[in-house]
Chains A and B, each alone.
Chain A
Amino acid sequence: MNTLRAILLACNALAFLYFLLYLVAYLAQAVYAWSDVRLHSLRVRTTRLNTLGREQSGALPPVSLLAPAYNEGPVVVDAVKSLLQSTYPQFEVILINDGSRDDTLARLVEAFGLVRSTRSPYVHIQTKPIRGVYTSPTCPRLLVIDKENGGKADALNAGLNLARHHLIACLDADSVLEPDSLLRAVRPFLEDPSTVASSGVVRVANGCTVADGQVQEVGLSSKPVVVMQVLEYARAFFLNRAAFGGVNALPLISGAFGVFKRELVAKLGGMATDTVAEDMELVMRLHDYHRANNLPFRVAFVEDPVAWTEAPESLATLSRQRARWHRGLAQVLWRYRHMLFRPRYGALGMLVLPFYWLFELLEPVVTVLGYLTLMGSWYVGMTGFGSVVALFGLVTGVNLMIGLVALLFEETSFGRYNRPGEIARAVLYTFTDAFWYRWLVVFWRLKGFWQAVRGDTHWGHLQRTAAWSRPAPARRRKTTTTLE
């Protein structure tokens, strides 16, 4: 019995230490992210970005937008139209149909009058066989690649082979870009020639009014599970990534919107096809390559370029997505474990990767074990029920503050949600997080962790509803175009 008590005591002490470290890590991030977000929002307010494109169209590097699509039939035409509406002076859209089993290609052929193209590849990264390359006589900026199914990374590699511009933007086919998103995301490449990649902010489109491939009015979904994801995105982008980007240690650029130097990605062998987190893997590879060879580089995070994406609305789909993300995180962290605590990898190796190992990868395990040992301590009479409640209150309070601070950053800097009712609802849901959503995420992450341990590399598929592809109604109140 004494041994059990000693073990429980040690576990409780470790869990408490973990919690203190977690608190310090987020506090440091909040302080760093605050100055970064403020500086950026000041720059946005005092810069006439709309004229920047016209004034400097000759100086802006052209960009190839790569959008892989698999069974995106219902949304693909609107998605391509949205990409084509960018105000960026020079760009091409390369949509890669990754062996869809639905009518994705047929819809594209019909909508854009596609004809066969003779474009030959500029680089030769191994991919699944290409069935055809098409261009549109009415839309010269569009190129469609039809290939056999090989996964998102394989599709991006096919696009990379045929991309003609020095910069590539990797997107999800269902991403809705704001007209000046590209202009803002390319800015770090103009500011600093050593920039190798730049990341934008991804926001949840569910609840917004989308028409003609553009977000017409920003709104918050009425579904609690979507609101919780909005809060998670705010936390991820305005705390984690803003802080990590500021010290050139951004380990992840979302697959929904990131800009890279094409030659460099090709030189490093393109996207990795043996992981489900090809976006994070590529960024880690960029860090590894530049740090190992002592080359100057910068992976930039820009707070305001926005890509809107459809978030899962059903718990089953969200569960699969989160398990996959966690599995991918585990795969990448394990692959790049040699960077951990190595001073040559700078802030990434010394601070950010330990953070990801401790507070992202192991967080579900520690959370469950922490609460189990706490309950065990209570069961054997080592602690009173009051202590259990007090600790739960403390953890909840800290997480609540972190969520609210992220929301505050978003509100005071960019303030995309206009209605006070929506902000009130977001705040209210932040208070409920500790009682249901957090536990669901912990469970899904545990599932992903277990899948990673078993070596599962299956992708799964997110079912598209295409609710936002319907035409905009005359009156917003009775709209059916929202992503509900």
Chain B
Amino acid sequence: MPIDDGLLFTLSIVLIICAVVLAMGIVGQKWWARRAERRDRAVLARLEAEYRTGGPQFEALAAQHRDLAHHLLLERLKEGDSTAAAHLERLGFVAAYDEGVKNPSPEVRASTAHNLGLLPADLHPERLLLPLLQDPHPVVREAAVRAISTTGSGDAVGPILGSLASSPDPYLYRMARHTLTECGPHNLPALLEAATGGKPQVRRLALDVLAELNAPAVLAPLLELTTDPDLEIRLRAARAIRFYDSPEARAALLRLSEDPEWQVRAQAAKALSWVGHEAVVERLKALCCDRSYWVRNNAAQSLRFKGQAGRQALEDLAAGDDAYAAERARESLETMRREASRA
């Protein structure tokens, strides 16, 4: 053999010893975790009892078992118990968050952000949350954006949009959308400015949020965006103007329903279900014969909400020559029948 037997033996023994140590570590860790879990459950029950009865022992006990007390108080905060915030402050947890957001571990920073989101507005959690929007770790940024959604502060709109401009993280985008919908009503000008200029992902986000907010002041800029060269902007604009049942919005939607891109036509077909006008029924009927499945599907679904005229259009389509349109129409009619029998 080219290799010394003694070396092989030594290596084998070392490996097997390492394996035994690792195995003991895995089992020991599980056993220890289980034991700690039982002990924690007992302490938590005592803490909870003291907290509920307002017992004098609570703070002394909490000082001994800080992690568990912290957990308990956060749970209470989630349930809307405002006295828990006072306890958090008195026990020094709120001050500890200042250190938590600077911790080198992303796990600690992310969970601090999550906890900050539970604090009431009078403790100004956004003071610590806003800088976390620029954190290098994506999970921390996501946690910060989520946490801000509960504070609902208009000051957060600008930093969130800025954070997305510097880091086009798709998941952050989703989170930011939800958060801005919560904070947006307090800062519409910032959203409008973002929707009309800047980086594409920021424009799309701002439009998504404006679509949710349905604020009357933003219709004019939204109508302008329906002619934007960016497909994503046009389809978002179609979605955003669906609530405005005005002649301008209707005309824009009818124009978008003839867009060369199927995604925009599909979105317009869906949005037209909100617009009540007879011209819309004819247009939707024509869209049921579109070459794209989603346009046909959305148009047939929208016709369900057009009363007798819509039903008649669906019946005509179901009996017509276009097999694809007929199939979608039949399904819509079937849905209408099911809804009627349920009613």
Q: Pick out which of these stretches binds chain A: B7-15, B51-59, B88-96, B304-312.
A: B7-15
Q: Are B27 and A42 in contact (CB under 8 A)?
A: no
Q: Is B155 an interface residue (CB 8 A)?
A: no
Residue of chain B at shortest CB distance from A422:
B30
- State which residues 361-406 of A face B: CB under 8 Å: 377, 382-384, 386-387, 390-391, 393-394, 396-398, 400-401, 404-405
Q: Are A56 and B327 in contact (CB under 8 A)?
A: no
Taking A16-B3, A46-B143, A191-B170 as contacts, is the C-beta distance between A397 and B19 under 8 angstroms? yes
A191 contacts across to B, CB distance below 8 A: 169-171
Q: Are B5 and A404 in contact (CB under 8 A)?
A: no
B142 contacts across to A, CB distance below 8 A: 43, 46-47
Q: Pick out which of these stretches binds chain A: B106-114, B219-227, B250-258, B278-286.
A: B106-114
Q: Which one of A193, A377, A396, A397 has the highest number of Cβ atoms from chain B below 10 Å of its Cβ? A: A397
Q: Are A42 and B34 in contact (CB under 8 A)?
A: no
Instruction: Report B342 CB to chain A, min CB distance, Å.
Output: 11
Q: Is A198 an interface residue (CB 8 A)?
A: no
A452 contacts across to B, CB distance below 8 A: none
The bracket for how many chain A residues form the interface is 35 or more
Q: Are A401 and B22 in contact (CB under 8 A)?
A: yes
Contact with A along B207-231 (1 / 0, CB 8 A): 0000000000000000000000000
Taking A42-B107, A430-B23, A431-B23 as contacts, is the C-beta distance between A118 and B15 under 8 angstroms? no
CA distance A280 to B25 in the complex (A): 36
Residue of chain A at shortest CB distance from B140:
A46
A407 contacts across to B, CB distance below 8 A: 26
Q: Are B15 and A193 in contact (CB under 8 A)?
A: no
The bracket for how many chain B residues form the interface is 35 or more
CA distance A166 to B6 in the complex (A): 61
Contact with A along B1-41 (1 / 0, CB 8 A): 11101001101111110110011011101110110000000
Q: Are B23 and A394 in contact (CB under 8 A)?
A: no
Q: Is A408 an interface residue (CB 8 A)?
A: yes
CA distance A318 to B8 in the complex (A): 34
Q: Are A39 and B139 in contact (CB under 8 A)?
A: yes
A411 contacts across to B, CB distance below 8 A: 26, 29-30
Q: Is A13 an interface residue (CB 8 A)?
A: yes
Q: Are A427 and B23 in contact (CB under 8 A)?
A: yes
Q: Is A423 an interface residue (CB 8 A)?
A: yes
CA distance A398 to B5 in the complex (A): 17
Q: Are B1 and A387 in contact (CB under 8 A)?
A: yes
Residue of chain A at shortest CB distance from B106:
A42
Instruction: Report A5 CB to chain B, min CB distance, Å.
Output: 12
Q: Is A457 an interface residue (CB 8 A)?
A: no
Q: Is A316 an interface residue (CB 8 A)?
A: no
B1 contacts across to A, CB distance below 8 A: 12, 377, 382-383, 387
Taking A118-B330, A397-B16, A423-B30 as contacts, is the C-beta distance between A387 and B22 under 8 angstroms? no
Q: Is A192 an interface residue (CB 8 A)?
A: yes
B124 contacts across to A, CB distance below 8 A: none
- State which residues 9-43 of A face B: CB under 8 Å: 9, 12-13, 16, 39, 42-43
Among A48, A55, A424, the residue within 8 A (CB) of B27 is A424
Given contacts A118-B327, A423-B27, 20 further A-B contacts (CB under 8 A): A12-B2, A56-B174, A122-B293, A137-B338, A190-B170, A190-B171, A191-B169, A191-B170, A192-B170, A383-B1, A387-B8, A391-B8, A393-B9, A393-B12, A393-B13, A394-B12, A396-B12, A397-B11, A397-B14, A397-B19
Residues of B within 8 A of A (CB): 1-3, 5, 8-9, 11-16, 18-19, 22-23, 25-27, 29-31, 33-34, 106-107, 110-111, 114, 139, 142-143, 146, 169-171, 174, 177-178, 293, 323, 327, 330, 338
Q: List 8 A-B contacts (CB under 8 A).
A: A12-B1, A43-B139, A390-B12, A394-B8, A401-B18, A411-B29, A411-B30, A431-B23
